[in-house]
Structure 1
Amino acid sequence: MSEIDKHITIPKNVSTENDLDYHWLRQRGQEYIEQLAGNVWTDYNSHDPGITILELLCYAITDLGARISMPLENLLAPADQTTSLKEQFFDATEILPSKPVTEADYRKLFIDIDGVKNCWLQPFNKTVFANLKHKQLSYDEGDFDAIDADDKTSFMLNGLYKLIVDFDEPNEDKFPGTGDKKGEIERIKNEIFAIYHRNRNLCEDLVKIEEVQTHAIAVCANIEVEPDANEEMVHARVLEAIDNYFSPDITYYSLQQMLNKGYGTEQIFEGPLLQNGFIDTVELENAKLREQVRLSDIMQLIMAIDGVKVIHEISIKDCKNASDENNEWLICVEQGKKPKLCADSAFSYKKGVLPLNVNSLLVRKFRQEIRAAKLEANQAAKADRHLKIPTGTFTDVKKTTSIQNHFPEVYGIGESGLTSQATVKRKVQAKQLQGYLLFFDQVLASYFAHLNQVKNLLAVDNSLATTYFTQVVTDVLDFSDLVNDYPANDEELTRKILAGLDDNINRKNQILDHLLGRFAEKFTDYAFLMKQLYGSYADRAVVNAKQNFLLEYGEKANGNQILNKGISNWRGSAFNYYHQSPEHLWDTHNVSGLQKRVARLCGIKDFSRRNLSESYVEIYELTNVDGKDVFRWHINNQNGIHILSATEDYPAPRYAEEELYQAVVKILETTPEEIIAGFEKELTDQLVIGNFEVQLSDQGKYSFNIINLNANPESTDRIIARQFIYYNSPPDLKEAMLDIQRFLSKDFAEEGMFIIEHILLRPDVTSLHGLTKQFMPICFKKDEDCMPIDPYSYRVTVVLPGWTYRFANVDFRNFMEEQIRRELPAHVLARICWIGNRKDKVKEEDNDMLKLENAWKTFLLKKTNLNQAQDKLSLHELIKVISELTTIYPAGRLIDCDEEEDKTGGRIVLGRTNIGNL
């Protein structure tokens, strides 16, 4: 085989287990001694003190190796027995299932509803006619009769479906006589609509639900049963077998039953997680609407029933077409219908030559028992749906003891120490050996401490502030004689000896990359761009983005209630617009899976649907003392209080925004730990804490500036922002600094997006009228390729605020547009717009974002209770606003690429800058 054809694989087991082999470790250690000191040390026998030290260290290493080799569930087991591994990691039900995607997925989801026996998802066919000459659409072809044939075309709306449902036969106890069967069917239909919209695919919708129609077929048979057979039970089984042949029952299986059928875990949990167990996909595919009824099939089913001896006569006929010449062996079922036994069916039974009278009441009783047995089996399947997470036994792998206590007593370094008669020289030698061995004790203690933290480092909700760990060595004789200022607790010791080595942000990034790599996810491009935009704060921002992404990767549920739609499971889902309250349509996290996933991949803190034009930022115009119109800025908190303000005037809003975001970045660069450590010193005027500068007034009041440490100390560029609030004491000032750092890192959010599915903007597809004025405009130019004409099928408009710090950056826009298109399902086409201004920055009639927010919100509040129908005014207004959206671009000027410096701060390079978007 050539080198290029060889498969490169990573071996699963790379452990040599040499760490468990004491003799191997001793031999290797002796070889190193020979290499390093062979010219002065030749006695390697056991009585040599150096060999004794080597042997004890080898023993300690095997102890560490043995603990590393413990069952993984024991290493991960929490010390608190009230918690479990499920709280640290995703289990199979949270990470392996997905929202419904295929027809089979949706069928499983609906069959899981009580009262649905089977169902079939079919396209809802709706033709739209196009007038190319006047760029109009209509459902009525007659609207364009006066148009030449060359100027007309048509297309089908894609992504719309209808559901054909085979409802369970009503329970006589529930519907005695002429009970409310219609009411029960209506209840099931409403539940199907609700469940579908909770699990809707992007750019798809369910238009109608229909009860499956029946094709009546008669079966007549003369059957001889065994002498000891119960004829009522036989007849009940015959009727059940024929009914199941006409419309197969769907069987639920437990997890163990699916494993016994040979399915792997990833196959079993594929698709939606059902409440009643697991459905075999192969069986589901076979349970389609029957196209033919074959007499031979029915004969085989009857002969397979216990108690049936022989079939003397049997025939089938089409009840509706009895007069026609029918094939006596095969009947073709009308398309879209299911076969059903009609009243013309007749069954007679006998034992030998004696005819039998069958008691219909007993037959009904036996049929109910057969169905009850099936229901009981399904209930058993319902109880076993979860892979059991191994229950580990907590072992304190951190616990260790000094190797000094294992030396022979003659060394005098163990718990007994030396005798009172020992000379001073001997005592000094013992102390020297203790000091020498303490190094190894601390190293081993650190290894055991790291092993104890594995369960926390690899947990998806890892909140550890450090990535290096050690622990206090406590059981060394006369320890205080060996070490000065040795901390009394593990945290303080870790901080003292490892803080300088622990680049915890970089190391946490590496750990998170490892965890993300398990799901084939990466943040490489995002991290690179953040470095350009945020400087030293970028690494922490990237850690936060990765952490949030992992935390929300799998689905979290409490019973039937989904607490968190996983970024993985729900990536192709749409939002639920059906019968929602206003708080679930606006200022809500009820958004598409795509929107949430893109937001987390791009580090957007708040992905909710809300008013993006409302901002914590205020840029305002004023006239300065020189009579010039200038601009300044404020950042407000949730209560509308100015917590940060500009310190100079700016000739244009763009310069004000640049300085504002620079101040935000400088605050974010300063960690809470830096602020806390800064207040351990005496506060003086102009004391620098990170990028904060303390201001102390003559009246003893405190405030702070935000400074640029890279600027010339004498330059006006040094102080870039200030908080014009004064505090009475250092603790109040410290809390104010921590508050503004916390606010800007967690609550301050201008970024967000709207994803508008065009299929939701369709006029009422159940209408028989043309509704020409309610359609979206179409793109058509006779001499240009503007296909496809269809503006609805699998189309979305993605709207983002183009004024924010990152979204105004051309490189970040390119990155985000690439992410949106990469994460969109391959068949969905996106139009991406970067629009608008903050509220009150321009007139309302000129603010695209404000107009879109008002129109989109109004449309959703009307749409939620109308389903297929539309409110004409809200639909017309929304279409008008979307059609007029204009992308805004960062201000700049064309420059010579050889120019050394861009004095304006904005640069456009021909051929390199995107100034358009399809």
Structure 2
Amino acid sequence: MDTANHITKKQLPASQDFSFLKGEAIAYVQKHIGSEWTNFNPSDPGMTILDQFCYALTELGYCTDFSIADILTDAEGKMEMENQFYQPSEILTTAPYTIDDYKKYLIDGIENVDNVTLLCYNDNAFPFNKVYQVYLYINPAITDPIEISGLCKSAFYLLNKSRNLGEIFNTPMALLPVACWIDTKIILEKNADPYTVLLELQNNIRSYIFSKITQADYDTLKQNGYTAEAIFDGPKLANGWILTESLTDKKDSIKGIDLAPIIASTPGIASASGVQLYQNQASVTVLQAEISEILAIDVLASFQNQKLIVNANGKDLPPDSFGPLQIRMDNFNETTAFINNKTNSKAPKSSFRDINTYYSIQNTFPQQYGIGDDTLENASLPVQVAQSRQLKGYLTLFDQILANQFSQLANISKLFSFKNALCGAPSDEDNFYAVKDPYDQKHLEYPVPYKTFAPSYFYQSLYSIPHIKPLLKDNTAFNYSSGTESRAELLEKSWFEYQQDPYNPYIFGLMKIMEEEKTNLDRRNNLLDHLLARHGESPKVIDAIIQDTVYTGDKRKDQIILKSLYLQNLGLLSYNRQKGYNYLGAKKIAPHVDGNPDINLPKISDKEFGSINEHTTDFIFKSEQINTKEKLHQQDFNNFSGLELKLNLLFGLKNIYKNFISARLDSQKINIENLYNTTIYKTIQKASWFTTNRHGSLLLETVLLLNPLKFNLEVLKPNSVNEAYYTIDNISFETLTNLNYVLNASSEATLDSELQNGYLLFSGTKYPFTASSIATVNEEDYVKTADSNYSFRITVSSGNAKIALDAKVFKKSFLLLFPDFIPSLQTPEFKKRLKQFLKLNVPFNVSYECLFLSIQELETFIPDYMYWYESLRYKDELLPLPTEQEGSSTPNNDQPVSIDSVSSALNLISSLTTILEAKNGTN
């Protein structure tokens, strides 16, 4: 039987219910009009007007019921997402911050790294925050030392691209395999392939010890029930997503009983006898590995060495059943399936809705009203024409209100955009450019009368209303002719020119009455506060931080500008909020001449600097210009820490410096060349350097000052026989941190054994120590180890041992420096806001100090800083430089430069020490 289709009566929403709207209107009229209006029948013209208006309101109600996806879709069918929403992969991810984050980052970023172990050195006895030692579990099939070294170097460059503030990475090391075997007998199931079973057993044991981390695509994880928060937790990954719960720790202690269930659960094995273990060819009860080692239980080698007995079909297989071991090992490599790494959830389907185009209610009136396309224009009927125009003028007020409501809805994307709108009548702007030639469309700036600062009300002209021209003020302004046009052509041209004129009294007056500036600024500020709160940012906190940041001098406008800029850059700022700069790949701040940095500050010209009001034209703030100028890119976070970039953005530091320079130049009223070598010139020159090479401030991580230096390590065992005393001299910072770990992590028996044999062992390398008779020492200068009676002391051997590790310069994780000659930076309000900003944005485990340097102090400091900064990248050992591709160790096009990194660090430390002593410990 065919289905019977029929129409069901469904209650419409109130905004779309004509009867409801009309009933409400009549009730309102009856309540307030008194006895002035008594005829509510269809014959009354007032009821006709009410009918048309209510019908128009149902259309508006219909449009407001569209999905937000449809409202945001433009005429080309593209949804306006940019500066509207952040995708989950943009706002839920973060640059590596935790140990698990770094594991995911390395596994995804370096091919053939199956898993990672990270060791964090965080010893309060050291003047630095954190040092990480990374161990890579490299695919066991890779045995070439050169290839392994290349993978470690690639990992080192990759890690430094996402290094956190105040932290540093030692060169990663490959986990050293510890040869192990198993002694057991396994009985295979009938028809099981012995070699396949052994390979599967090998794989299961390796996964048990330290599993190879696999990656999955977004769709698969969603289908398995994981939320976007779980999937995107951590850094952005290029080759598939890694769940935090899938990360496993390396097992460094294994008993035979631990392997029994692994063996029994392997497909193809029917049963197995007790398991005995061998490590380094010796029988052991427990397999043991250090932090730098990986237990490598070789199943196939165990079989060939006749320790693993395989019984298939009632017979023990001979050890040469599978041929040469080295050929068979290649079969263990797994082929990685292609992963469709979608980083964004699918956008909802949407359709373009032409909301803005308005159809006048005057088109729907009965003919006898004479106000539609058949409007009376007959000169012989002046009374009727006047009546028609009078009614049109009355109805046009309703039309304008309705048209503006449609325009407001159509411009929701601009209303809730991170960027501030530039025009309150976007459709009129489009019409203005639509009739221009391609050159004018590209170069002709939109006329000033249409411009406004961050409008929150949108409107549109009503030139489409039939015969509206006579009602508009100065509609005959373009009724002039060269004498060649007919009257009809002249009227048509005049009407067209009037519509195109942004200064005509109608559109210009409409703009002026739409909203008062105070109301507009308050509304826009509230909208931006809503957007900030939606992204987890406190508007009140932001208001407090940007309290005195100046762009226009109007506090409300400055709030709107800064909040808009912050929202536009929030994705990158949020992702990189804890990140330090990449000292191996950051841009140069000094040109290189003959293999050395040119540390002379460049000469400046007054032509390089604009006026203080460069961001405004005709008193309208140029939002697009400042948006482009302050837009952050990923490369910026390679050159600067996230803290510096956020500080500059919210405090408008570059703008402060720009205004300072312009004010100094204007005050001299002469060419800058005449000021050369004067104090004013040097002041301007250094202010220019802070804006050109930095972002208005200079953040210096003290751990990077220690990194190039050499150290002496003394180890003492008080109250022992002859008071054992051992030393190792001129070791690198990396070696020092590793040996510090050994001293604190090793037992006293281990230290006794190794030191008496003249070394300390770390990651398979023996570091030689020299035993000597002890001199008179102050034991208070030594630090006791964690698990033994040994104590040790570290001194700097570079620079004739003039530098002490307890010096004030190393007390903080980083120093934040400003010049003290910028008046805006010396106010109590600025320092209060700066203190609040740092308290909110610096991790609790990172200490800092703010310094304001004089022009004399900067004379020495800036050259020393430039030379040291360049030495971090262009080291004296001429390390290969990383390319732009993540993880690559191939040299780029920059020519390596030999710089004495030790002397440059010593000079900068000396300069900072002098500055800190002059400050007498005050901020």
Instruction: Give the TM-score category using the shorter length.
Output: 0.5 to 0.7
Aligned partners of 1:462 and 1:612: how far apart in 2? 23
Confirm or deny: 8 A CA contact 1:799 1:834 kept in the other structure: yes
**How far has the Cα of 1:273 moved from its partner?**
0.5
Residue identity opposite 2:906 in structure 1: H
> Which amino acid counterpart does residue 31 of structure 1 have in structure 2?
A
Q: Which amino acid aligns with 2:796?
A: L
Partner of 2:296: 340
Partner of 1:219: helix, strand, or coil? strand
Q: Confirm whether residue 570 of structure 1 aligns to residue 576 of structure 2.
A: yes
Select 1:166's aligned residue among 137, 157, 161. 137
- CA drift of 1:170 comes to 3.3
Displacement of 1:534 in angstroms is 7.8
Question: CA 1:870 to 1:243, structure 2 compared with 1: closer, same or farther past 3 Å?
Answer: farther
Alpha carbons of 1:165 and 1:584: their partners in 2 closer, same or farther (altered >3 Å)?
A: farther
Q: TM-score, normalised by structure 1?
A: 0.67
Aligned counterparts of 2:32 and 2:55: Cα–Cα separation in 1: 22
CA–CA distance in structure 1, aligned partners of residues 647 and 278 of structure 2: 56
Structure-2 change in CA distance of 1:850 and 1:80 (3 Å): farther
Q: Matched residue of 1:85: which SS? A: coil
- Contact 1:77–1:393 under 8 Å retained in 2: yes
Number of residue pairs aligned between Structure 1 and Structure 2: 690
1:28 and 1:94 mapped to 2: Cα distance? 47
- Inter-partner Cα distance in structure 2 for 1:331 and 1:749: 55
User: Which amino acid is 1:875 matched to?
Assistant: A
2:795 equivalent in structure 1: 770
Post-superposition offset of 1:454: 1.9
Letter aligned with residue 188 of structure 1:
L
Deviation at 1:304, TM superposition (A): 3.6
* Shift of residue 288, structure 1, vs aligned partner: 0.7
* Residues in 2 aligned to 1:361 and 1:24: alpha-carbon distance in whole angstroms: 89
Provide the aligned C-alpha RMSD in A: 4.3
Give the corresponding residue for 1:100. 96
Which residue does 1:633 correspond to in 2? 668
Contact kept, 8 Å, 1:76 with 1:454, in 2: the verdict is: yes
**Distance change in 2, residues 1:534/1:67 (3 Å):** closer
Structure 1 counterpart of 2:120:
123
Distance 1:871 1:313 in 2: 61
CA contact (8 A) 2:819 2:852 kept: yes
Task: Find the aligned partners of 1:364 and 1:84 in 2 and give their Cα distance.
Answer: 58
Are 1:213 and 2:171 counterparts?
no
Cα distance in 2, alignment partners of residues 792 and 414 from structure 1: 82
Give the match's secondary structure for 2:46: helix
Post-superposition offset of 1:101: 0.7
- Does structure 2 retain, via aligned residues, the 8 Å contact 1:73–1:391? yes
Match of 2:273 in 1: 313
Correspondences of 1:322-401 after superposition (within 5 Å): 322-323=282-283, 326=285, 331=287, 333-334=289-290, 336-342=292-298, 343-345=301-303, 346-355=307-316, 360=322, 371-373=333-335, 375-376=336-337, 379-380=338-339, 382-390=340-348, 392-401=350-359
Contact 1:471 1:490 in 2 (8 A): no
Give, in angstroms, the shift of residue 198 of structure 1.
0.9
Q: Contact between 1:319 and 1:344, CA under 8 Å: does it hold in 2?
A: no
Percent identical: 23
Relative to structure 1, the CA distance from residue 170 to residue 385 in structure 2 (aligned partners, 3 Å threshold; closer, same or farther) is: farther
Contact (CA 8 Å) 1:579, 1:865: kept in 2 or not? no
CA drift at 1:296? 4.9
Work out whether residues 809 and 909 of structure 2, in 8 Å CA contact, stay in contact via their aligned partners in 1: no
Q: Is the 1:445–1:470 contact (alpha carbons within 8 Å) kept by the matching residues of 2? A: yes
Instruction: Decide whether the 8 Å contact of 1:78 with 1:85 is kept in 2.
Output: no
Q: CA deviation at 1:509?
A: 3.7
What corresponds to 1:235 in structure 2?
198
Question: Are positions 1:479 and 2:497 aligned together?
Answer: no
Amino acid at match of 1:848: E
SS at match of 1:389: coil
The C-alpha deviation readout for 1:775-807, integer Å capped at 9, x for no partner, is 897799xxxxxxxx8853652111112222411
Once the two structures are TM-superposed, the CA of residue 433 in structure 1 deviates from its matched residue by 2.5
Determine the C-alpha separation between the residues in 1 that align with 2:860 and 2:833.
27
Which secondary structure state, in structure 2, belongs to the residue aligned with residue 760 of structure 1? helix
Partner residue in 1 for 2:484: none
Shift of 1:206: 0.8
CA distance in 2, matches of 1:790, 1:107: 34
Tell me the distance in 2 between the aligned counterparts of 1:314 and 1:749. 68
Aligned CA distance change for structure 1 residues 529 and 334 (closer, same or farther; 3 Å): closer
Q: SS at the partner of 1:360?
A: coil
Q: Residue 409 and residue 584 in structure 1: after superposition, are their counterparts in 2 closer, same or farther (change >3 A)?
A: farther
Structure 1, residues 353-380: CA drift from partner, whole Å, max 9, x if none?
255578636999998677445x11xx22
For residues 126-141 of structure 1, the aligned pairs below 5 Å read none
What secondary structure sits across from 1:278 in the alignment?
Answer: coil
| Counterpart AA for 1:110 | L
Question: SS of 1:605's equivalent?
Answer: helix
Distance 1:323 1:569, change over 3 A: closer
Equivalent in the alignment of 2:563 = 546
Q: Which runs of 5+ in 2 are unaligned?
A: 1-11, 424-451, 476-497, 592-598, 602-634, 711-732, 737-768, 770-793, 878-898
Indicate conservation of the 8 Å contact 1:834/1:888, yes or no. no
**Unaligned 5+ runs, structure 1:** 1-15, 128-153, 176-180, 555-565, 621-631, 643-651, 661-743, 781-788, 838-846, 890-914
Q: 1:200 matched to which residue of 2?
A: 163
Q: Check conservation: 1:161, 1:208, Cα contact below 8 A.
A: no
AA paired with 1:120? T
| Alignment-derived partner of residue 459 in structure 1 | 417
In structure 2, the CA distance between the partners of 1:422 and 1:405, relative to structure 1 (3 Å rule), is farther
Q: 2:808–2:916: 8 Å Cα contact kept in structure 1?
A: no
Does the aligned pair in 1 maintain the 2:279–2:287 contact within 8 Å? no
Alpha-carbon deviations, 1:376-420, whole Å to 9, x = none?
1xx22x533332333533222111100111223343333345799
Equivalent of residue 16 in structure 2, options 2, 20, 29: 20
Contact 2:135-2:173 at 8 Å conserved across structures: yes
Counterpart contact for 2:186–2:273, Cα < 8 Å: yes
Structure 1 partner of 2:704: 760
C-alpha distance in structure 1 between counterparts of 2:808 and 2:39, whole Å? 90
Q: 1:499 aligns with which of 512, 524, 545?
A: 512
The C-alpha deviation readout for 1:549-582, integer Å capped at 9, x for no partner, is 222222xxxxxxxxxxx22211211111125563
* Aligned AA (1:806): S
Among candidates 50, 54, 57, match of residue 58 of structure 1? 54
Q: Does 1:804 align with 2:831?
A: no
**Range 432-441 or range 571-580, more displaced:** 571-580
- Whole-Å Cα distance in 1 between the matches of residues 181 and 322 of structure 2? 18
Whole-angstrom distance in 1 between the partners of 2:24 and 2:584: 71
Counting helix residues as a fraction of each chain, which structure ranks higher?
2
Q: Structure 2: how far apart are the matches of 1:816 and 1:748?
A: 22
Q: Post-superposition shift, 1:448? A: 1.6
Q: How far, CA to CA, are the matches of 1:81 and 1:297 in structure 2?
A: 60
Q: 1:42 to 1:614 in 2, by over 3 A?
A: closer
Which residue is equivalent to 1:293?
A: 254
Q: 1:799 to 1:567 in 2, by over 3 A?
A: same
Give 3-state SS (helix, strand or coil) of 2:171's partner: strand
